[in-house]
C-alpha cells in the first residue's frame, strides 16, 4: 500500500511541453487556414519550436520511464501528448510535400 514512488518533475515538464506545443500547433494551423493558406515566418518558427518541444518531451518521458522509480501517469500521458504533436507535425510535412 505504501510506496516510495512519487511523480517525476521531468515527466510533468514533458506533459507541459507537449500541451504547449500542441496548442501552438493547433493555433498555427487555424491561423494559416484563416489566412487562406498563406504562412508567415512567425508561424513557421512557432511550428519549429513546437517540434523542439515535442522531441524534448519524448526524450524526457522515455528517460523517466527507463529509470522506473516513479509513477507512470505523467510519463505515459506526456508520451501520448508529445507523440500526437509529432504525428501532427509529420502529417503537416507530408501534406506539404504532396
- Residue at 84 is within a domain: yes
3-class state of residue 70 by DSSP? strand
- Residue at 24 is within a domain: yes
Residue range 53-84, pLDDT digits in tens: 999 999 999 999 998 788 889 999 999 999 99
- Residue at 1 is within a domain: no
- Residue at 39 is within a domain: yes
pLDDT for the residue 1 = 58
Domains: count for the chain: 1
Region 34-53 average pLDDT: 91
Nearest-CA neighbor of 22 among 70, 90, 97, 89?
89
By the 10 Å C-beta count (0-12 exposed, 13-18 middle, 19+ buried), 76 is classed as middle
- Residue at 3 is within a domain: no
- Residue at 65 is within a domain: yes
Region 10-36 average pLDDT: 93
Domain of 41, in residue numbers = 9-97
Mean pLDDT of the chain: 90
- Residue at 18 is within a domain: yes
Cα angle at 50 between 41 and 6, to 5 degrees?
160
H helical segments located in 1-98: 9-34, 41-67, 73-97
pLDDT beyond 70 at 5: yes
pLDDT for the residue 98 = 73
* pTM assigned to the model: 0.87
pLDDT for the residue 94 = 92
- Residue at 2 is within a domain: no
Amino acid at each position: 500500500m505504501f510506496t516510495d514512488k512519487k511523480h517525476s518533475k521531468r515527466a510533468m515538464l514533458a506533459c507541459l511541453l507537449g500541451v504547449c506545443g500542441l496548442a501552438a500547433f493547433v493555433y498555427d494551423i487555424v491561423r494559416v487556414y484563416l489566412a487562406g493558406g498563406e504562412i508567415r515566418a512567425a508561424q513557421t518558427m512557432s511550428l519549429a519550436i513546437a517540434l523542439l518541444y515535442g522531441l524534448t518531451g519524448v526524450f524526457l518521458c522515455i528517460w523517466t520511464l527507463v529509470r522506473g522509480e516513479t509513477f507512470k501517469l505523467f510519463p505515459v500521458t506526456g508520451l501520448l501528448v508529445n507523440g500526437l504533436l509529432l504525428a501532427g507535425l509529420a502529417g503537416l510535412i507530408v501534406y506539404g510535400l504532396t
